[in-house]
Structure 1
Amino acid sequence: MSGTGRTNAKLVDVELDETIGRSTPDVEHERAVAIFDLIEENSFAPVNDDAGPYKLRLSLVESRLVFAISRENSEPVVTHILSLTPFRRIVKDYYMICESYYDAIRSSTPSQIEAIDMGRRGLHNEGSQTLMDRLAGKIEMDFDTARRLFTLVCVLHWRG
């Protein structure tokens, strides 16, 4: 999917509610950066809704990620609940390869670093596609938005 193609089909605010929990200052910084990147550039809209832009409030309920979508004026639009189970392996593998990447930066050749980075990007793409697939028929977004949203999902798992 190439996105919604509508100029009002975008997120203007992303909030993490108290169920997400707080973490170390480094993790909180990474979460803030992920949210900033997502808001800065995105294509996002609930299916069959043309009255954006939107706000997104994320929360966790029993290992499920809750997407509470509202209009810019905070009027509720729809809530979708997404199981995080399909993402556990991808997120775990993604963190492992990120650790390998950071270790490689210190001691490996450029070609080894590039190979690890290609694997990291491949896992990130896999997670992004899984996110798009799981939200298909519920939320329209382009692949770049799915990548930014998957980054946020990863940072939500990171405890520091």
Structure 2
Amino acid sequence: MGADGERNHRLVDVELDESIGRSTPDVEHERAVAIFDLIEENTFHPVGDDQGGPYKLKLSLVDSRLVFAVSREDGSAIVTHILSLTPFRRIVKDYFMICESYYEAIRCSTPSQIEAIDMGRRGLHNEGSQTLMERLSGKIEVDFDTARRLFTLVCVLHWRG
């Protein structure tokens, strides 16, 4: 894909539903880093959109469902996809537990203990990212790194919701 295609198949803005409220400083830091990294580098293309982007994404939780509202850079709506959260429940629950252990370990554990917990955390994060890619298949094309950052934002929505 050429430079124009890469520019046109990407996100330039990501918004989280702010009606849920704020969370802990650790969670808010994760959110900020994920959004920054996502905007800096991503591959994002709604299937069937021949006009191309760049795109804006608003993520929200509505009636226990994950909503991906995609628009063009000028704000004109393109598509909204609503995904069941059921396939994510176990992964997100386990991810929350291991993140709590990780944040606690950072404060008072040895480097080898932190590394072991972080390996488990990354493994769960990868599993959640793969699940997200599978759920978006046929709807929105994303690469694995984009899916990882989006999964972080899905978790942030859960933490607050």
TM-score (norm 1): 0.86
Residue 6 of structure 1 corresponds to 6
1:49 aligns to what SS in structure 2? Answer: coil
Partner Cα distance (1:107, 1:149) in 2: 29
- Would you say how many aligned residue pairs link Structure 1 and Structure 2? 155
Partner Cα distance (2:109, 2:20) in 1: 36
Q: For the Cα contact (< 8 Å) 1:69–1:78, is it kept in 2?
A: yes
Q: For the Cα contact (< 8 Å) 1:34–1:148, is it kept in 2?
A: yes
1:7 aligns to what SS in structure 2? Answer: helix
The residue type paired with residue 11 of structure 1 is L
The residue type paired with residue 138 of structure 2 is G
Partner Cα distance (2:152, 2:72) in 1: 23
The residue type paired with residue 39 of structure 1 is I
1:23 aligns to what SS in structure 2? Answer: coil
TM-score (norm 2): 0.85
The residue type paired with residue 83 of structure 1 is S
Alignment RMSD (CA, Å):
2.1
Cα deviations by residue, 1:112-159 (Å, 9 ceiling, x for unpaired):
322211111000000000000000010001000000000111111113
Q: How does 1:66-105 map to 2 (within 5 A)?
A: 66-105=67-106
Structure 1 or 2: more helix by fraction: 2
Partner Cα distance (2:115, 2:31) in 1: 26
The residue type paired with residue 122 of structure 2 is R
Cα distance, 1:107 vs structure 2 = 4.1
Partner Cα distance (1:81, 1:22) in 2: 21
Partner Cα distance (1:59, 1:110) in 2: 36
Is 136-145 or 42-51 further displaced after alignment?
42-51
Is 131-140 or 98-107 further displaced after alignment?
98-107
Residue 47 of structure 1 corresponds to 47
The residue type paired with residue 151 of structure 1 is T
Residue 21 of structure 1 corresponds to 20
Percent identity of equivalent pairs: 81
